[in-house]
Copies of this chain bind each other. A is one copy, B any other.
Amino acid sequence: MEFVPDNVDVDELERRKALYGPLAEAVRELVDATIRSEVDDEVIREVHAEVAAATSKLRARQIDGAFGMRLTAAGESIAWGNAGVGLRNAIAPPLVIESDDSGRHWTDVTLGAAYEGPPGMVHGGICALVLDHLLGVTASADARRYTGTLTLRYLRATPLGPLRAEARVVGVDGRKATVRGTLSDSAGVTVEAEGIFISRR
């Protein structure tokens, strides 16, 4: 585990968010359109060439390997490559996690065509991704903890569209925190989760 210090100030951080966030959002739209398009073959090939050219431009200068985690001077972590919350990662919805003083954590997220499993439904593994990430953040409110075990109970299929996930710590025993959470659509809970999260020594 390495956190790379990145001594950006608040203004510079906001500037970078405003630069990279919209690019990733545009790539998310492209991912969706790549699944749903019905245009003629020659347009598909044209777009393919344009996407490859755009990628080459971006790769003209790039970091080695993955983004990792960087820390600002103020101690804010920048996990922009993260598959759950990464501002620059088009795979990430990205989740925006909120919390209140009672320890409840939640995220409201709308999942579209790119997150499909059974027809019209969210992939069970994507439900797991959302819950794993939310429960992990919930478990790490006092100390950074990592997933030890995660148990998911799929009560019914989760439809694509607007969803809410919620979680709360239900017990802490030394390095271990037990967290419970749910994923819900407008009609109620679709998936229940319980995780045990462990801090490094």
Contacts and interface: CB of A to CB of B under 8 A. Distances in A.
A44 B19 contact: yes
Given A27-B34, A60-B43, A153-B148, A129 B123 contact: yes
A173 to B, nearest CB: 18
A126 B129 contact: yes
A8 to B, nearest CB: 14
Interface residues of A, number: 86
A154 B113 CA distance: 29
A123 B133 contact: yes
A152 to B, nearest CB: 5
Enumerate the 7 nearest inter-chain pairs by beta-carbon distance, A residue then B residue, closest first: A125-B129, A128-B128, A125-B132, A33-B58, A37-B58, A66-B113, A68-B119
Nearest to A126: B83
A147 interface: yes
A190 B21 CA distance: 32
Given A23-B51, A124-B146, 16 more contacts: A23-B34, A26-B55, A30-B90, A35-B88, A36-B62, A39-B60, A43-B57, A66-B119, A69-B118, A83-B114, A83-B123, A123-B132, A124-B136, A125-B125, A146-B157, A148-B154
B129 A67 contact: no
Interface of A: 1-3, 19-20, 22-24, 26-27, 29-31, 33-39, 41, 43-48, 50-55, 57-63, 65-69, 80-84, 86, 88-91, 112-120, 123-126, 128-133, 136, 146-154, 157, 160
6 contacts: A34-B88, A36-B58, A37-B58, A38-B61, A84-B117, A124-B133
